[in-house]
Chains A and B, each alone.
Chain A
Amino acid sequence: MAEPALKSDIKDFEDKGQWWWAAEKKRSKRLDYLRKAVWRKGSTGGAPISPIKLDLEPAFRWIEFYKQFKCEPQPLRTAKIMAAMWETDPIYIVDKSQIVGSKTPTPSTEGWEGAGGMANAAVYNYPEILPEPMEEALRKVHEVGQFWDAEGDGMSRLISMADPEDIAKFQSGAIAWGSLIGGYSGKNYEYFMTGKRAFEDIIEEIDQYIAEAEEKTQGVSNPDMLPLYQKIINWEAMKISLEAGIKLAGRYARLARIIAENFETDPGRREELLRVSETCRRVPARPPRNLQESLQYDHFIQVMARKEQPEGAWPARPDYYHGPYYDRDVNIEKNITKEEALDLIGEFLIRAYDMPVVLAMGKWVREGLQGIAGTWVWTLGGVDQHGDDACNDMTIALMQAARLVRTPNPTFAFRWHPKVKDNVMREIFECIRHGLGYPAMRNDPILIANAMHWHRHPIEEARTWVHQACMSPCPTTKHGTQPMRMASATANCAKIIEYTLWNGYDHVVNMQMGPRTGDARNFTDFEQVFAAWVKQMEWLFSLLTRTVNFARYVQSDVAPRPFLSGISQRAVDAGIDVMRPDGERGNAWITAFTWVENPDSLTAIKKLIFDDAKYTMNQLMDALETNWDGYEEMRLDFVNQAPKWGNDDDDADNMMLRCLKECARFSRELKDPSGNSWPILPENVSGNIHYSSIVRALPNGRRQGDALYDGGISPGPGLDKKGPTAVLKSCGKIDHITDGRAFLLNQRLSPTQLQGEKGYQLWRAYMKTWADLGIDHVQFNMVSDETLRAAQKDPEKYSEVIVRVAGYSAHFVDISRKTQDNIIQRTVQGIGS
């Protein structure tokens, strides 16, 4: 129960918009303790968070087991190493907690497993994350590095098989963002999360498949039996992984019981610990029976999947899958009170907030995902498989719990549809008004149609969709789930217009990257410019998608995922590693970072050079060559005299549509490993800052060094001068079903204007316009300039201020000054005025 707090105190904090202090007063003692117990993960302003240290011991244990199982065939080797690690990993239980399980050896350390090059460079570059004494730590890092240099890890094997020129360009850091192997995952929730089956049931299914296959391999020689040998190996690997998961949960059960019987003196806490123990004996072995078991089951699966391989995203639909247990426990059987349920749900959010990826991962991750460990975008709302409203009491409880614990990560995205009830909309608005930056709003009917259009998912399956990363809908079904996000098909799209102007040459990394499309100084009409732009776009998207297709194709050989396979029906039924695309419909997309610079730059060239003839291509190239230095008046003309996207101006908006339709056309030519298309999805995370020094000066008036536009289709900060309705009208001109996979729109709203009932009604009217225009996404920052500036000046006092960066939220103090300034620069829109 919450500590007694004066209602007047809480109201005072809320009136001042000090939501973090109000939440502290409102939440229970347990939630307050657990929330403050978390050591932040991820990066601060692009550097690792310093109090967290690496534990180097797992790297040596991994090598020991690697040697022990070296002769086993893949993926048995992987499964056995993993099982041995899970049996010997240190585990912990935090006081007062009711949901257990972590990827880390202690609350303030992260385990380093040694293999996998990305983390390793950072281990050398950021010695502050190494444990003391430093000299010994560096010696250990060197020893592990030498072992894997000689042995070769999954990534190095993959790179050795790929096309060298593609890999060199891909790895240049100029055009692609992401990892070739895994990095993200999808989850087949419809298989393991509906209450029908858990690990023991799946093991039984696997045993049956193995028995049938073994019987066939005893028969008369036949080519049909040949694939069965590998299938048996795959099934055995899945079984070992699932059994290891049950054992790992059993270790938590044992620890909880030991604490209860030997350490704990408070009878209430002792009872809780025994319940935790019972819960961990039940799940994941058998299906959950109540809310606590359901949340624990889900959490264990997330921990185990991330122990198998780092996952940078968290596709989930917690209200849909936990809602029935909430309903039974709170409403029907009244086994727990609503407050007790909020304690469990709040802790469920905290446990996710506590999840690391890899502390010191590459610079591109730390800068591109500033302030967070990964994009944990959880999906709420939406319709069920019959098309009925899927919102339930758990939907509301999750949003209420989020306001109490105020974790920036996980973040919610809400599937809006016309049947959503007013009480749910009010909860959403409260979260936004409290400055959480979430839920992001998604247009369910549009996105279901989009999933059917691009990936041919049947409607009943499309309706199960969850966010696979920040934005892209992916079904949770057998054939619809995509097991990895294929993240490296993430394009730094501003390079398309840059290479158009520089004949495919990249003057930042000094390489001929794109095709030679001609010296821009010789372009004599706009169509020549646009034709060159199309060629550069086709080259960039081709290079990224063929590299990623290849990586996906070979991943089951170089880095299989027996655990993820074991919870994926397609893999279990077919006896294949889940990374193989067989039987999968595919759900690929190209993440288009730094997109809007393209149409805005093309519009400026068309208007000022070819339509008005105010400047020449030569003059433009001279100015760009010097980063606009000494050309300030001309630069301001390119900003202010050429129309910009987001003002309901047909000239600017038609350029956006022309570019998008070219991409959509080409997307249909590009095929993923399942034979489906690669539509584009403009969004940025904080890639607009990461790439700011990598992209040269552009004709939209941007200099090298300036932040790129922050959203996928958000107008440039300060360039949307006609108000929020004009922004929506521009965005509404895009066909959000056929022009791409999804389009991210950031908007800043005024907390002063949106106070009280009147504020809610203004926002509802805004959302109606948004829905009527068929826009698929919008998300809001609602924190005042005053608060953000104060937080910049006095970060310790404002350490809990949260902002929406792009597809995720983060603590304002954990992002770089440049990103902070970029968020403050965004236009504050007044709605309905």
Chain B
Amino acid sequence: MPICEECKSFFPIEEEPGKGDCVQKCVDARQTYFTARVVSADHDASRCDTFQKS
């Protein structure tokens, strides 16, 4: 089972072991932007569309 920690988009949070930011580059009709969402390192990523093994 792939987990978030193994993904290229996962950036660990130093102050909070076991957690990281899932950072994605997004484009909508008006702009490019980057989002960050806090995820657990061991979160199941098997259903994640954007998972990319690092």
Contact = CB atoms under 8 A, between A and B. Distances in A.
Contacts of B30: 36-39, 107-108
B28 interface: yes
A95 B33 contact: yes
Contacts, number: 60
B35 A37 contact: no
A93 B13 contact: no
A39 B31 CA distance: 10
25 contacts: A33-B31, A36-B30, A37-B30, A38-B30, A39-B30, A87-B38, A91-B36, A92-B34, A92-B35, A95-B31, A95-B33, A106-B33, A107-B33, A254-B11, A254-B13, A254-B21, A254-B36, A255-B21, A255-B34, A259-B23, A262-B11, A262-B23, A263-B23, A263-B25, A263-B34
B13 to A, nearest CB: 7
A95 B30 CA distance: 11
Contacts of A36: 30
Interface in B7-54: 11, 13, 21, 23, 25-26, 28, 30-38
Q: Interface extent on A, as a size class?
A: 20 to 34
A194 B37 CA distance: 34
Given A106-B26, A263-B25, A255 B36 contact: yes
What 4 A-B pairs are tightest by C-beta distance, nearest first?
A37-B31, A95-B32, A255-B36, A92-B35
A108 B28 contact: yes
Nearest to B37: A90
A254 B22 CA distance: 12
A251 interface: yes
A88 interface: yes
Contacts of B38: 87-88, 251
Contacts of B28: 106-108
Interface of A: 33, 36-39, 87-88, 90-95, 106-108, 251, 254-255, 258-259, 262-263
A535 to B, nearest CB: 55
Contacts of A107: 28, 30-31, 33
Given A91-B36, A106-B26, A258 B31 contact: no
Interface of B: 11, 13, 21, 23, 25-26, 28, 30-38
A259 B25 CA distance: 9
A531 B28 CA distance: 61
A93 B11 contact: no
Q: Is the interface of B mostly helix, strand, loop or mixed?
A: strand
A117 B24 CA distance: 34
Nearest to A259: B34
A405 B42 CA distance: 45
A251 B25 CA distance: 16
A38 B28 CA distance: 11
A303 B3 CA distance: 33
B25 to A, nearest CB: 6
A128 B32 CA distance: 24
Contacts of A258: 11, 21, 23, 34, 36
A36 B28 CA distance: 12
Contacts of A33: 31
A806 B30 CA distance: 30
Contact of B35 (A39, A87, A91, A254): A91
Contacts of B33: 92-95, 106-107
A811 to B, nearest CB: 16
Nearest to A254: B21
A107 B37 CA distance: 15
B31 A255 contact: no
B41 to A, nearest CB: 15
A640 to B, nearest CB: 51
Contacts of A39: 30
Contacts of A38: 30
Contacts of B23: 255, 258-259, 262-263
Given A258-B11, A258-B23, A259-B23, A251 B36 contact: yes
A407 to B, nearest CB: 15
Nearest to A33: B31
Given A251-B36, A258-B34, 15 more contacts: A38-B30, A88-B38, A91-B36, A92-B35, A92-B36, A94-B31, A95-B32, A107-B33, A108-B30, A251-B21, A258-B23, A259-B34, A262-B11, A263-B23, A263-B34
Contacts of A108: 28, 30
A386 to B, nearest CB: 45
A259 B36 CA distance: 10
A253 to B, nearest CB: 11
A94 B34 CA distance: 6
A555 B23 CA distance: 39
A37 B32 CA distance: 9
Contacts of B25: 263
Contacts of A94: 31-33
**Which among A92, A93, A108 has the greatest number of chain B C-beta atoms within 10 A?**
A92
B16 to A, nearest CB: 9
A715 B25 CA distance: 53
Contacts of A262: 11, 23
Most chain A CB inside 10 Å of its own CB: which residue of B13, B23, B33: B33
B35 to A, nearest CB: 4
Contacts of B36: 90-92, 251, 254-255, 258
Contacts of B34: 92-93, 95, 255, 258-259, 263
B50 to A, nearest CB: 14
Contacts of A263: 23, 25, 34
Nearest to B39: A88
A85 B30 CA distance: 27
A39 B29 CA distance: 10
A255 B33 CA distance: 11
Contacts of B21: 251, 254-255, 258
A127 to B, nearest CB: 22
B43 to A, nearest CB: 13
A662 B32 CA distance: 57
Nearest to A250: B15
Contacts of B35: 90-92, 106
Nearest to B30: A37
A91 B31 CA distance: 15
A36 B25 CA distance: 19
A33 B28 CA distance: 13
A130 B28 CA distance: 18
Nearest to A273: B34
A87 B21 CA distance: 11
A232 B40 CA distance: 34
Contacts of B13: 254
Nearest to A108: B28
A392 B34 CA distance: 36
Contacts of A87: 38
